Structure 1
Amino acid sequence: MMIKIPDEVETALSTLHNRGFEAYIVGGCVRDSIMGKTPSDWDIATSAKPEEILWSFNKFRTIETGLKHGTVTVIVKKMQIEITTYRIDGEYSDKRHPDHVTFTDKIELDLMRRDFTINSLAYNKNGIIDLFGGLHDIENKIVKCVGYPDERFNEDGLRILRALRFASVLDFSIDDQTADSIYRNKGLLNDISTERINMEFNKLIMGSNYQSILLNYRQIIEVFLPEIKDLTNQELEYRLYSMKALNSLTLRLALLLHGMEPTDKILMNLKYDNKTVKTVKLLTENINEKIHPDPVTIKKWLNKLDYENLASLIKIKKALFDKEYEKLTKSQAIMEEILASNQCYSLKTLAVNGQDLLDAGIPKGRRIGMVLNKVLGEVIEGKLENKKDVLLNYIYGLQKTVDKDDD
């Protein structure tokens, strides 16, 4: 088996080999290469100790990423390559990092500490090392722990969610013993930082196999997203099925969480960024509102949500409500026509602004906003043409009426 390795990575491997050390590409880059995917990064494991790695690459720029755990980042022609000494991990008292590591010169001992068999492969020009059946599991699309699953998950509880994520993203199934251990140890997720859970969950729900994984392992997801407990299996299944039509994380979150209150608090607890929280909240608040396919209604929706959010809302509703699909398609076409022909639907697109009203003699204050919104309403309803002179004449008329009332 031959794996095409980038020149920069070959340079790093050759540099170590030329100085008498073993070196292999390891982990996800081997897995992805075997599966015909392009790796996002390349990691190397070596018999060289950290100080020997630094010595070997003394003519390259290096970053002492984690010398305590044997990791040095080497930059070869702008590519960052993590190089880590073969090691044996000690106890994981914090359920994330080993309390101490012992460096070794045996690749076999290093591969034993890996999380899953598909990530325990090593490769260099001499061939592939597969001690735990990783090639078999890739071929048969199986996520399986290296060694005893309980041990692997107790070392780092996040591996529970990583197993689900790999099964979703790679479209794999989970080995029975590994699955049993996932259920048995799900409480370990309570000790994992929310930020780490957030990253894995996002990848999971964007994976091609998310539907099966979230259905079959909903009890695991409920550990950090207890709100979905209120959904029946049928309700959850329908939401997950509908999410297939959406290729955006924000839209999938909105569809999954709609009707669960307060949505913003749920997302804030899961450490989502402010933009995602605000957008999902806005979408979930409007999912069950009707959108009628006529220009006036669509302009009012555009004024309320803006183009991007209304387009997103229509996508979600089309995914959820088959009976509304035709009307939503018409609404979408009307919206695009409004944008394409530069029709007015918001204060930003109105032909007059606050300064124009001040110039027209309307005193500064709340009345400025009230008049602008009244004028906008008339334009949206088609009662006024969105031309500055027309709108100013209308405003002058309003002002005269107010002045008479004041008299």
Structure 2
Amino acid sequence: MKIETPLYVKFIMDRLEEKGYESYIVGGCIRDILLGNIPNDFDVGTNALPEEIEEVFKDKKTIDVGKQFGTIIIHLDEASVEITTFRTEGEYVDGRRPEWVKFVSTIEEDLSRRDFTINAMAYNKDKGLIDPFGGVEAIGKKVVKCVGNPEKRFMEDYLRILRVVRFSTVLDFEIEEETFLACKKYGEKISQVSMERINQEFVKILMSGKPSIGLEVMRSIGIFQIVLPELVPTIGFDQKNPHHERDVYNHILCVVDNTPPILKLRLAALFHDVGKPHTLSVDKEGVGHFYGHDKVGAKIAKTALERLKFSKKMIEDVSILIENHMTHHGTFKDKGLKRLIRRVGEENIGDLFLLQKADRECSNKDASIESIVDMEKRIKKILSKNEAYEIKHLHINGEDLIEMGYIEGPEIGEIFEYLLGKVMENPEFNEIDKLKELALKKYPIDKKI
């Protein structure tokens, strides 16, 4: 089997070999190539020690990202390549890092420490594919299987339990039985892993082609309640509403799967109805209602996303989408639509419509998105005409008002809000002379506002 590598990777490997060292591309890049995908990056394994790697590439920029673990990054014009010395490892005393690392001389020893068989392959042009643990077979069978004893692999690093979920989701592979049982046995140990590391794997699951696969695997191995405890009350929760064919949890799964892979959108889809179990009321006809679940859900999502270590900006955007996801039930004049744009933000308004469409389509088989499409068209028209929906769009500023005789302070803001409201209703008012006239009529100077 011959595997083509980019020229910059070939340069790395050729130079190591010219200096008398072995070099292989290793791990996930081979898996991706065998699956017919383009690798995101290439990692190189070698028997050169970290200091020797630095000497070989002394004319290049190198970064020591873990010399004690054998890893050096080489910066080239085309890309950066991570080079790691063949190694074996001691016990993982903290469930993350090995107690000790021992550099070894063969690629086979190095591959034996890796997590899954699909990631435990190596290749170079002279020896071809090195596959001591059946990675090619696992790919053919579409199976995620640990290298060696799965319990030992997970005890080394409990994050690997979530990595099993990620690979089975992203690749649409089954989990090998012993690996699955070990996941269930040690699942609760995922709580010992830092939330930053959990976040990285969770995001990859959520951004996959069908995130519901991963969420269901997380549930089946017992880590759902650790990673996403806020969603547990939605499982099996009957909506008692003729407009909803699914319980809240399965509705959420449907919405997540039917939104594009935009992170803030997927997160909003995941948490958009998390407030429903906390807001159920049943009318005299036995129909369930969830008044205010959007506001409650936004607060719950904020707490969850803070715990999951998402950025402040991401949390803000997701909260906005959740808090406004029910607006498609309203009837808006243009002024109302402009207020919606202002509230949500132009950068989020398109994602809000995508969320609403998925939400509506996952409600019941007869659901129509016609009203959402109509609202979307109207907002696009407003934006295309550059009509004002924020104070900064007004053709008057604070200095203009002060020159007119108004006193700097909170009253200036009150005038701006008034003028914006008038312009939202009548875009033709957005001229400085007309705005001054409106201001003076509502707030006469002699009244000393």
After TM superposition, the score normalised by the length of structure 1 is: 0.93
Q: C-alpha displacement at 1:310, in angstroms?
A: 2.5
* Structure 2 counterparts to residues 284-303 of structure 1, below 5 A: 284-289=322-327, 290-303=329-342
Verify the 8 A CA contact 2:387 2:427 in the aligned structure 1: no
**Given residue 267 of structure 2, which amino acid in structure 1 is its aligned partner?**
L
Per the TM alignment, residue 384 of structure 1 is displaced from its structure 2 partner at its CA by 6.7
Partner in structure 2 of residue 221 of structure 1: 224
Distance 1:39 1:31 in 2: 9
User: For the residues of structure 1 that align with 2:117 and 2:403, how far apart are their CA atoms?
Assistant: 74
Correspondence 1:76-91 to 2 at 5 A: 76-77=76-77, 79-91=79-91
| Distance (whole Å) between structure 2 residues aligned to residue 305 and residue 15 of structure 1 | 54
Amino acid at match of 1:264: K
1:344 maps to 388
Q: 1:248 to 1:368 in 2, by over 3 A?
A: same
Aligned residues of 1:292 and 1:331 also touching (Cα < 8 A)? no
Whole-Å Cα distance in 2 between the matches of residues 4 and 114 of structure 1? 23
CA distance in 1, matches of 2:195, 2:142: 29
Report the secondary structure of 2:223's partner residue: helix
Aligned partner of 1:25 in structure 2 is 25
Please give the residue correspondences for 1:307-346 in structure 2 after superposition, counting only pairs within 5 Å: 307-322=346-361, 323=367, 325-346=369-390
Partner Cα separation in structure 1 for residue 301 and residue 51 of structure 2: 50
- Segment of structure 1 superposing worse, 143-152 or 49-58: 49-58
Find the aligned partners of 1:405 and 1:17 in 2 and give their Cα distance. Answer: 84
The residue aligned with 1:239 is 252
Equivalenced residue count is 405
Query: Does 2:353 match 1:353?
Result: no
Distance 1:54 1:352, change over 3 A: closer
CA shift for structure 1 position 343: 1.4
Alignment check: 8 A CA contact 2:260 2:266 kept: yes
Separation in structure 2 between the aligned mates of residue 54 and residue 375 of structure 1, nearest angstrom: 65
- Summarize the Cα distance change of 1:394–1:14 in structure 2 as closer, same or farther, 3 Å threshold: closer
RMSD, aligned α-carbons: 2.1
Aligned pair partner of 1:279 in 310, 313, 317:
317
1:54 to partner: Cα distance:
3.5
- Contact 1:121–1:134 under 8 Å retained in 2: yes
* C-alpha distance in structure 2 between counterparts of 1:34 and 1:348, whole Å: 54
Q: What displacement does 1:30 show?
A: 1.0
- What is the match of residue 136 of structure 2? 135
Q: Is the 8 A contact 1:246 1:316 kept in 2?
A: no
Mapped contact 2:259–2:265 kept (Cα < 8 A): no
The CA deviation at 1:166 is 1.4
Structure 2 distance, partners of 1:395, 1:61, is 62
Name the counterpart of 2:242. Answer: none
1:53 aligns with 2:67: no
Question: Please, which runs of 5 or more residues in structure 1 have no aligned partner?
Answer: none
Residue matched to 2:102:
102
**Unpaired segments of 5 or more residues in structure 2?**
237-246, 276-296, 362-366
Equivalent in 344, 347, 364 of residue 305 of structure 1: 344
Greater shift, 307-316 or 380-389, is seen at: 380-389
Structure 2 residue corresponding to 1:256, chosen from 261, 267, 270: 270
Cα shift at 1:120: 0.3
**Residue aligning to 2:181:** 180
State the identity as a percent. Answer: 38
Deviates more, 1:247-256 or 1:230-239: 230-239
